[in-house]
Amino acid sequence: MTPLGQRLARQIAASGPMTVADYMAACLGDPEHGYYTTRDPLGAGGDFTTAPEISQMFGELVGLALAQGWLDQGAPAPFALAEPGPGRGTLMADILRATRAVPGFHDALRLHLVETSPALRQAQAATLGRDDITWHDSITALPDLPLFLVANEFFDALPIRQAVREGAAWRERVVGLRDGALCLGLSDPTPLPQLAHRLEDTRDGDIVEFSPAAEAIAAEIGPRIATRGGAALIVDYGDWRSLGDTLQAVRRHEHADPLAEPGEADLTAHVDFEALAQAAQPCSASRLTPQGVFLERLGITQRAQALARGLTGAELETHVAAHRRLTHPAEMGTLFKVMALFPKTATPPPGLDA
Ligand code: SAH
């Protein structure tokens, strides 16, 4: 077992099973052994890749959508351009480059990144090469300004709890010990008032996931945008309502057992967008839109053609494959969804419907 696994096993032996959320939080964020704390998982020889790492087109279009949202709201100045979980900083670098020609945008923006991982803060500083970045540990520390925020594959990294329905009650999935090894178990049945609405659309034995951490962040962003103006573009895999066990571990681009190597594999779960939209009130939420549809509406095909003109051979092939990967329903196009949060008095950023 990994050093973190040994420590968690001792903890469970001493004080009993832990929730999936506490397990996930330890695996990802433990200050000493956490997955994100100790490495850049997107780097060469890393564990997974993301849309902005696949092609510059993703960040360019997201940046122009945010900038158009900013113009549509009267170009407030100054405003916070914020990103939680910026990874290697690639998305923000593409956003900044693509928006350079938007009059006033760069003068008005104040750059705020929310990142808990020291390793990734370093990568972001290197990629962005600017001296005007403010980093925060928590979204609550963002300044009181109009807020234009982008979050790509951030919410999927937040800890989830899992509950198995039993009558009108739920048994929570917990991580315990069997013969010295970590294993999944179930708590005694308890009522979970926060899942009352899921008694309508589930049956005995169904697994429902919820993320108090994700909801708390949406509850922080939503009211800020509602009162100060701005927009949040949230891109992630998931659906309007979660159903079933979506906890997954990925290591070196392969699926792994989430309990096998605590701290050494990336752990994620699908995002429940309905829960984010609810928590973000009084902000409005756009319709949940497949990533492929969103990018096509923003003109990714025209952008891909323009970039293709300068390419030949293997570079051209990689570029064509990247376009397909971001948009095709069999790749990221349908699994990944986009939702915007925006003030009730505003329209959503381009590419999305109210
Ligand atoms: N958005 C990037 C990276 C996604 S990986 C991209 O699209 O490439 C997830 C990111 O979220 C990493 O930067 C990770 O360190 C960060 N992260 C995970 N949990 C976090 C938390 N609780 N608070 C802030 N950042 C977190």
Q: What is the 3-state secondary structure (H, E, C) of 224-288?
A: HHHHHCEEEEEEEEEECCCCCCCCEEEECCEEECCCCCCCCCEEECCEEHHHHHHHCCCCEECCC
In DSSP notation, 6-36 reads: HHHHHHHHHH--EEHHHHHHHHHH-TTT-TT
The one-letter code for the residue type at 219 is: A
- State the pTM of this model: 0.97
Which of 143, 149, 161, 157 has its CA nearest to residue 22? Answer: 161
CA 115 – ligand 1 centroid, Å: 6
CA 336 – ligand 1 centroid, Å: 16
How far apart CA 75 and CA 263 sit, in angstroms, is: 43
CATH class of the region 51-158+212-342: alpha beta
Cα distances from 287 to residues 58, 240, 271, 294, 339, in angstroms, run 20, 10, 15, 11, 6
Which of 72, 66, 154 has its CA nearest to residue 116? Answer: 154
Burial of 10 (0-12, 13-18, 19+ CB in 10 A): exposed
CA 214 – ligand 1 centroid, Å: 12
Atom number in ligand 1 closest to CA 90: 8
224 Ramachandran zone, left/alpha/beta (phi>0; psi -120 to 50): alpha
pLDDT at 325: 97
Ligand 1, atom 3, lies closest to the CA of: 87
Task: Using DSSP, state whether 174 is helix, strand or coil.
Answer: strand
CA 224 – ligand 1 centroid, Å: 21
Which of 259, 181, 192 has its CA nearest to residue 24? Answer: 259
Q: Name 48's Cβ contacts closer than 8 Å, sequence gap at least 6.
A: 41, 42, 250, 253, 266
Ligand 1, atom 26, lies closest to the CA of: 85
Atom number in ligand 1 closest to CA 49: 8
Q: Per-10-residue mean pLDDT for the chain, 354 residues long?
A: 96 97 97 92 86 98 98 98 98 98 98 95 97 97 98 98 97 97 97 95 98 98 98 97 95 94 96 98 98 98 97 98 97 97 98 97
Sketch the domain layout of the chain as residue ranges. 3-29+160-209, 51-158+212-342
Ligand 1, atom 16, lies closest to the CA of: 85
CB-defined site of ligand 1, < 6 Å: 28, 36, 42, 50, 52-53, 84-87, 91, 114-117, 120, 152-154, 157
CA 157 – ligand 1 centroid, Å: 7
pLDDT at 1: 87
pLDDT at 340: 98
pLDDT at 43: 72
How far apart CA 162 and CA 249 sit, in angstroms, is: 15
Sequence-separated contacts (24+) of 317-322 with Cβ below 8 Å: 319/55, 322/54, 322/55, 322/57
